[in-house]
Amino acid sequence: MSVSAGEAKVALVVGNSDGIGLAFTRRLLAEGWTVVGVSRRVAAIESDRYAHHVIDASSPTFREALTAVVPARVDLCVYCAGIGEAFDPSDLAMDATTVRVNFEAMVSCAAAVIPSMVRARDGHFVGLSSIGDGVSSDAPAYAASKAGVSSYLAGLALALRPKGVFVTNVRFGFVDTKMAKSPVKPWMISVDQACDVLARVLRTRPAVRSFPRKMAALVWLLDRWAALRLSLS
């Protein structure tokens, strides 16, 4: 099915068959947006303002496949696709896939939508990084992929703001989805609360939004401690 944009604002949500992406797609549709969704599985959404495309972000042809389905006008793009596995020192095979899905595919997604936003001098690109975008011995590839996301989006935000395009890096702590696998999940928020944060981000369009802030502060301190240990080792 294809969507006809009409007067409704058009959003592209990548990684929306589950978790935050699925819930936020439903929120956007309830608020009258037209939405195009992308993930490997079909999202359980029925709306005449919704179209889904099954595309694997880890595929080497992701950018071409995405470009082929991106509507002519995209007002908002939210990149939610993400994977994260605990580190297994005997098998690092998944690490490259984690970096590909979480970071490289987000860069490909930006390449597919941002040029038309720049031409229109309008648009908002939102990426989901993580408060855990520092150094992690539990999940080095996940942390590195999110460090890449945070750094890239910060640069894009600075470069694109004068061109009328807003870029936001959203850094969540723990959100109650299947992604939150850690046995200890301090200050975990619900998917609904995560959607509230994203909804505020759409209104205020900051360059970076970390939530909850107290967790961001704690992890910032732990990152400084890790940096000190590394410099002394």
Residues of this chain that interact with ligand NAP (CB under 6 A) are 15-21, 39-41, 56-58, 80-84, 101-102, 128, 130, 172, 174-175, 177-180
> Nearer to ligand NAP by C-beta: 187 or 226?
187
Residue 119 beta carbon to ligand NAP: minimum distance, rounded to whole angstroms: 26
Q: Write down the least CB distance from residue 84 to ligand NAP, Å.
A: 6
**What's the closest the beta carbon of residue 46 comes to ligand NAP, in angstroms?**
17
DSSP secondary structure letters along the chain: -----TTS-EEEEES-SSHHHHHHHHHHHHTT-EEEEEESS--S---TTEEEEE--TTSTTHHHHHHHHS-S--SEEEE---------TT--HHHHHHHIIIIIHHHHHHHHHHHHHHHHT--EEEEE--S--S--SSSHHHHHHHHHHHHHHHHHHHHHGGGT-EEEEEEES-BSSTT---S--TT-B-HHHHHHHHHHHHHH--SEEEESHHHHHHHHHHHHHHHHHHHH-
Nearer to ligand NAP, 102 or 168 (CB): 102
Q: Which is nearer to ligand NAP, 16 or 150 (CB)?
A: 16
Measured from the CB atom, is 103 or 166 closer to ligand NAP? Answer: 103
CB of 101 to ligand NAP, least distance (A): 5
Q: How far is the CB of 164 from ligand NAP (least distance, A)?
A: 26
Cβ closest to ligand NAP, residue 40 vs residue 163: 40
